[in-house]
Amino acid sequence: MKTLRNKLGTIVGCAALIAATGCEQGDAPTVTRSAPTEAASSTDALDITPTTSFAEVNQLRPDFVDEVMSLQPVRGRDRNFRFSQPSFAQAAAMPVIFHRLVDLEEPQINRVALAGALRTNRGPWQEIALELLGTETDNAVRVGLMRSLASAQPEVLARAAELGLQDTDARVRDWGAQAAVRLFANYGGEGASETLSLRLVERLKDEDPGVRATSVRALSFTEQPIHVDAMAGLLTDDDPITRLAAVDALVRLDANQAKTLLEAANVAGDPDARVARAAKRL
């Protein structure tokens, strides 16, 4: 973590910055229409690189840094907290996000939300987030990081999927499998090692049904029929969502072969209406 902290710049003065802003969430202003603030908009012109430090951004745009340092996550309709403010999408926010993310005095809820906020940040955050994923000890923060990395570009996506699939936390493995879905579905598996498919096959037996479901979906985009038998094993999974994912995945891979497999497993007679319907659509 020491190396990373050096990259991101010192965290000394963080608390002082928060105190200085004095900004709390409260009533909406009554005169302006919602739009990114001037401070946020003008920072797009900054040339943010992976090595741009918090101190550099703070020197160039102290007002913007004050703003991003002061923001608190918003509780969504699903009860989870997010940094959904548009300022977080600005590239210049990237060093500030990492600055807060590695500050262990930041509340855990904030750190989780900060990790998730990287997903839509326009800065070059991906390599740093991947490095953090390998060192972060808080499970929930790793979930946030992996969720962001699941939307990364292919050069990072493959490595993120590999790392995520081996995580001890099922939610991270699930997002790791989702990274593999995107890699194979959107980028033809660009940059994927031979072991990635094998890891996905291993995850078909994961203890977590969500991981099994996402892994079978990922395999359906690999265009590797060699894994069909392993995938078909999930047609009789205990979890109905996993069975449904298996039906969809097999059909996507090879509809004709899927029909035979589904008939053999009598999926049309599945006790879950959603699974049975999916089988009957063939």
Partner 1 sequence: MRSRRWLTICTSLSLVAGGLSACGKDGGGSDDGGADAGTAGETGGDGDGDGDGESWALDNIYGVTNRDDDDANGKPDWMDPPFAGDDDLTPLTFSAAMLNSMGSTDVARLTLNGDLAGIRIWGGGDGAPLLGANSGSPEVSSLDLSLDQMENLSVEFIDYMVSSTLTVERVADDGTTLESTEVTVAGSPLILNHHLQPSERYWVVSVNFGGGSNNASMIMDYQDLFGEAFSSVSGNIYGGDVWIQDEVEFGTQVGSSGERQDVIIDSIRDRGLDNFAEDTADTIFAVDTWGPTGTGNSCDSFGNLEITPPVTVDGVEYPFGRIYYGDGGVGCRVTEELRTFLDAQKVQAPIETDTSWLCVGHVDEFSTFIPDPDSEKGFKFLYADTGEAWALLETMDPDTELPRYLDTHGHGTVGEILTDNELRTRNDGIQANYLDPILAQYKAEFGLTDDDIILIPSLFEQCGGPGYNVALIPGTPNLIVANEDGGTKLIVPDPYVRTDDNDQASDPFIADFVARMPASYGAGDVVFTDDWYVYHANLGEVHCGTNVQRTPDMPKWWEAAAHLVD
Residues that bind partner 1 (CB under 8 A): 23, 25-37, 40, 67-68, 70-72, 74-79, 82-89, 119-120, 122, 151, 171, 174, 177-178, 181-182, 185-186, 210, 213-214, 217, 221, 241, 244-245, 248, 252, 273-274, 277-278, 281
Other beta carbons within 10 angstroms of residue 23's beta carbon come to 13
Closer to partner 1 at the Cβ: 106 or 248?
248
Which of 12, 27 has the CB closer to partner 1?
Answer: 27
Nearer to partner 1, 44 or 229 (CB): 44
**At closest approach, how far in Å is the CB of 160 from partner 1?**
15
- The closest of 180, 191, 107 to 146, measured between CA atoms, is 180
Residue (96 or 265) nearer to partner 1, CB: 96
> Least distance from C-beta 128 to partner 1, angstroms?
17
Q: Using an 8 Å Cβ cutoff, are 126 and 156 in contact?
A: yes
Nearer to partner 1, 20 or 74 (CB): 74
User: DSSP state, 28?
Assistant: P
Helix axis angle for 240-253 and 209-220, nearest 10°, is: 10
Cβ neighbours, 10 Å, residue 93: 32
Tell me how far, at minimum, the Cβ of 100 lies from partner 1, in Å.
Answer: 13
Q: How far is the CB of 171 from partner 1 (least distance, A)?
A: 8
Give the nearest distance from C-beta 1 to partner 1 in angstroms: 27
Contact by Cβ (8 Å): 161, 142? no
- Whose Cβ is closer to partner 1: residue 51's or residue 281's? 281
- Which H/E stretch holds residue 172? helix 170-187
- Nearest approach in angstroms of CB 201 to partner 1 is 17
Nearest Cα to Cα of residue 238 among 268, 262, 264, 272 = 272
Contact 47, 61 (CB under 8 A): no
Cβ proximity to partner 1: between 60 and 241 the closer is: 241
Angstrom distance (rounded) from CA 198 to CA 41? 45
What is the DSSP secondary-structure string of 75-102?
E-TTS-EE---GGGGSTTHHHHHHHHHT
- CB of 53 vs partner 1, minimal distance in Å: 21
Q: How far is the CB of 81 from partner 1 (least distance, A)?
A: 9
Q: Are strands 81-82 and 74-75 parallel, antiparallel or unpaired?
A: antiparallel
The residues with which 81 forms a beta bridge, in sequence order, are 75
Find the length of the chain: 282
Which is nearer to partner 1, 3 or 168 (by Cβ)? Answer: 168
Contact partners, residue 48, CB within 8 Å, separation at least 6: 57, 91, 92, 94, 95, 123, 124
